[in-house]
Amino acid sequence: MKTLLKEILQNSKENKKIIGIRVYENDDYFYAGYVLDFNDKVVQLQHFTEYGIEDGIVLEPIENIENVEIDDDYYKSLQILVQQNQKLEIKNIVDSKYNIEGNWRYNILKTFVGKPIIIVIENHKREKICGFVTKLTEQEILLNPIGLQGIDEGLSLYKLDDIYSIQPDDLECRKRLILYNSKKVK
């Protein structure tokens, strides 16, 4: 008997298409990856981290599967990261020594104005915002935030005094840059 579940699993297996599998009694967690093999009892999934890095094999009984998710932006983005995960290891910054004297926020941020490097700023609420530095004065920054799945979120203005920390080109920044660049091309 042919079921929609078997059709989805077969498509994932044949095309290495990333899907999400949620199991009963675990609302906060899901497995994301492509199917290596399956039968009427068990599915074998190549699991990936949120950065598209292989994270072991999951063997899950079919009867434990609550639902399967396909074709949303998260899985499409993860598919891109799986194909390009070697780029995550490549730093976009060569010189990482910054002038931390005086107006240290301004001194650091000015090195990123107009450059294709995503940075993280952490504000006074300890929220992390990732984006490109578009413009900068000694008191303010105009940031082009890039969302979790590489989506351009417009422009946001922040006071430099509200920035508690700056993290240029970390793993999350490089992930968002890969997704941003791949979506920009389309």
Rounded to 5°, the CA angle 118-121-127 comes to: 120
Q: Among the three residues 54, 88, 122, which one is the final residue of a domain in this structure?
A: 88
What DSSP line would sit under 151-173, residue for residue?
A: -B---EEEEGGGEEEEEET-HHH
152, exposed or middle or buried, with CB in 10 Å at 0-12, 13-18, 19+?
middle
**Across 67-75, average pLDDT:** 94
Does the predicted model carry a pTM greater than 0.85? Answer: yes
Residues 81 and 151 in one domain: no
Residues 77 and 143 in one domain: no
Q: What is the pLDDT of residues 6-24, one digit of tens each?
A: 999 999 999 999 999 999 9
Q: Model confidence at 100, in pLDDT bands (50, 70, 90)?
A: confident
Q: How far apart are CA 44 and CA 64, in angstroms?
A: 13
Q: How far apart are CA 48 and CA 51, in angstroms?
A: 8
Domain that holds residue 39: 4-88
Read off the CATH number of the domain in which 51 is found.
Answer: 2.30.30.100
Q: How far apart are CA 45 and CA 48, in angstroms?
A: 9
Neighbours of 1 (CB within 10 A): 4
Q: What is the pLDDT of residues 124-183, one digit of tens each?
A: 888 999 999 999 999 999 999 999 999 999 999 999 999 999 999 999 999 999 999 998
Q: Among the three residues 66, 88, 110, which one is the final residue of a domain in this structure?
A: 88
